[in-house]
Chains A and B, each alone.
Chain A
Amino acid sequence: MAHVAQGEPELRRVIDEDREVDGLGDQELLELYRSMVLLRTYDERSVVYHRQGRIGTYAIFWNHEAMQAGAVHALEDDDWIFPSYRESAIGLLRGMPASTILHWWRGHPAGWWNPADYNVASICVPIATQVPHAAGLAWGKKLKGERACALAFFGDGATSEGAFHEGANFAGVFQAPLVLFCNNNGWAISTPVGAQTHAEALVDKAAGYGIPGVRVDGGDVLAVYEATREAIDRAREGGGPTFVEAVSYRAAPHATADDPRAYIDLERVELEKQNECLGRYERYLRRHGVLGDDLDAEIRREAAELMRAGIVEAEAEPDADIALLFENAYANPPASFAHDLAELRRVLGGGLG
């Protein structure tokens, strides 16, 4: 039933084999590049903003851009994305302002968004608990006769969680149009994937749910795109969920609060940095005559400008009024909130100071 290891024992690759992908013309190839540059710029600037004290603790996704952009470009706008915190900036690819995501990392309530505005669910902070949401949304869309699918991002560590199992199992049972996208970067903070599972490959889990699985080079944006698009096409045609395992190696700390030197293989990190995903794709595009110096400079300048404007906008946002503490906890709030707020205003006087 499942493709799993016997079907594709090796990692699916496109860039290293110098293949082309059906349906991707120069325009689409460049859009993919723009998205990767945007994500890379967001990530690198965010680390700087953190060091400058302009945002709080930040989960770095450097070298994950191929997985994120490749997967999202395989979707249609009606399809839903369920990000983990590793994909915090995924909304950028759906037109979300950078300032919204920066607000989120600045701990400002302006960092909330309505998922229905972008078909991007809220950033999931606990591990794997968004997987059943994605299964429920995909199943719910199918029940309503709508064509939208869903894609849930999660990491290698998430496959150890019960929520992953329950979500994957529900999706299989109800044949929900869902892509279970596992970004296997080899590490859950300091725990290597080999300590998460005795399975040879995470994709082997697909067989247990009776669903197809495919294993791709997570640093190869075109391989990710191709595999995800096949999964989405199958889902949209009623073929149910697919497990995509994208394999990479975490070349940056888990987050700004983490120092991986205590546990990670530093030589391997250096190798990964030399072969990082954006550079690999850039060289591919240059090799194929799709990208030149001027265009590259323009794309990078646009991304840098978007981030500059984003942080300016985020920092110009006034402090949130304390009424927001109570405002959205319930759609239909209890009467006691009005009293609590009045008391809080009386005690705090002018505000939080």
Chain B
Amino acid sequence: MVEAVNDALHVELARDESVLVLGEDVGRSGGVFRATAGLRERFGVDRCVDTPLAEAGILGTAVGLCMAGWRPVTEMQYDAFSYPCLDQLITHVGRYHWRTGGGMEFPLVIRMPYGGGVRAPELHDDSPETYYVHTPGVKVAIPSNPADAKGLLTAAIRDPDPVVVLEPKLIYRSERSDVPEGEHVVPLGKARLAREGDDLTLVAYGAMVPLCERAADVLADEASVEVLDIRTLKPLDEDALLATAAKTGRVVIVQEAPRVAGFGAELAAILAEKAILDLRGPVLRVTGYDVPYPYWKIEDAYMPSVERVVDAARKLLRF
């Protein structure tokens, strides 16, 4: 999957001279996950820039780069290291277009590896999507497979608004599948039906999508399970969410972020507001807990697992 990210960056930097990449260790080393490998050699030091170690500085200078006519693609090295950039994100990135009365666009991208399950040290495992989704003026996409990783990043780079792309590092190397060559765009705001079914829907994004597919396999003898991959948290494909709820009448939402006020709560609220008569039981959530992301000897207990998803699905099927 990380090769698909790298592919998208190569294609877009070649296509549009105003696209540049900046971040920590993106140039000389090609990124700690190799997402930016080869860019500096191919496009030069001015288009793939190793910056000082300062996330707010990276995003703040990206705002100024937009004003100078660039389309900056910033990399935050890890999910939890992105928090300093929230200052710029909330106070400026999400507001500047509005503040200019629509006069100026800020077509910047913030991409980062995110999420747990990789046996990493503290603060290398967070799922920070809610902070980003909750910021007006900012769009958020999360791919679950290599083709979408390329297509969503491409759409993000071309979008006139600031877009955050969270790349699930749990499946950076494990998810392997064919990726279209050359330019490949997956439009923002379109969910993907990962699997069709009739009795129950598992709604997820990122690394939780392949997990839900495994859970659907386990449940195969008991129920026909649909899996909806949200793909873009904002703008959200509400029609796809409501359509699957209308079809199966049973929805389990799976997210690895802490449960409280997580994105799953937003999805559940939409179902409560707009799908109540379609539902045959409560909307259930399988999530991380309201605790700091644990050290890795016990992280498997924190992360949603096939067992927890199957258990929730069975409860709902029996409701």
Contacts and interface: CB of A to CB of B under 8 A. Distances in A.
Nearest to A334: B235
Contacts of B64: 132-140, 150
Contact of B88 (A132, A141, A335): A132
A31 B70 CA distance: 35
Contact of A139 (B56, B61, B84, B160): B61
Contact of B69 (A115, A140, A170, A330): A140
Interface in B41-71: 46, 51-52, 54, 56-57, 59-70
A132 B136 contact: no
Interface of A: 80, 109, 112-117, 121-122, 125-126, 129, 131-141, 143-144, 146, 150, 162-163, 166-167, 169-170, 173, 327-332, 334-336
Nearest to B47: A143
Contacts of B102: 327-328, 331
Nearest to B51: A170
Given A143-B46, A166-B56, A166-B60, A332 B65 contact: no
Given A170-B52, A332-B160, A143 B70 contact: yes
B60 A336 contact: no
B251 to A, nearest CB: 20
A132 B64 CA distance: 7
B179 to A, nearest CB: 25
A331 B161 contact: yes
Given A114-B100, A332-B160, A136 B60 contact: yes
A311 B256 CA distance: 54
B131 interface: no
Q: Size band of the B side of the interface? A: 35 or more
B65 A140 contact: yes
Contacts of B199: none
Given A133-B63, A143-B70, A117 B235 contact: no
A114 to B, nearest CB: 3
18 contacts: A112-B98, A112-B100, A114-B100, A122-B100, A132-B64, A136-B61, A137-B64, A162-B56, A163-B56, A163-B88, A166-B60, A173-B52, A327-B102, A328-B102, A329-B97, A332-B159, A335-B189, A336-B238
A109 B101 contact: yes
A117 B104 CA distance: 10
A329 B235 CA distance: 13
B28 to A, nearest CB: 14
Contacts of B15: none
Contacts of A109: 101
Nearest to A137: B64
Given A143-B70, A173-B52, A136 B65 contact: yes
A232 B67 CA distance: 20
A294 to B, nearest CB: 41
Contacts of B66: 136
A327 B103 CA distance: 12
Contacts of A332: 159-161
Nearest to B17: A144
Given A115-B67, A115-B103, A335-B189, 13 more contacts: A113-B100, A114-B104, A129-B91, A135-B61, A135-B64, A163-B87, A166-B54, A166-B57, A170-B51, A170-B60, A327-B102, A328-B102, A336-B235
A131 B69 CA distance: 18
Among B64, B67, B234, the most chain A Cβ lie within 10 Å of the Cβ of B64
A335 to B, nearest CB: 7
A25 B319 CA distance: 87
B62 A136 contact: yes
Contact of A133 (B60, B69, B98, B139): B60
B258 interface: no
Given A144-B69, A170-B57, A331 B52 contact: no
B92 interface: yes
Contact of A112 (B62, B67, B101, B161): B101
Nearest to B189: A334
Interface in B210-226: none
B97 A137 contact: no
B53 to A, nearest CB: 10
B88 A329 contact: no
Nearest to A82: B64
A136 B103 contact: no
Given A122-B96, A331-B160, A336-B238, A132 B101 contact: no
Nearest to A162: B56
A79 B91 CA distance: 24
B99 interface: yes
Contact of B52 (A125, A169, A327): A169
Contacts of B46: 143
A114 B101 contact: yes
B70 A329 contact: no
Given A136-B65, A139-B64, A166-B57, A116 B103 contact: yes
B137 interface: yes
B105 interface: yes
A131 B54 CA distance: 14
B159 A334 contact: no
Nearest to B62: A136
A146 B99 CA distance: 26
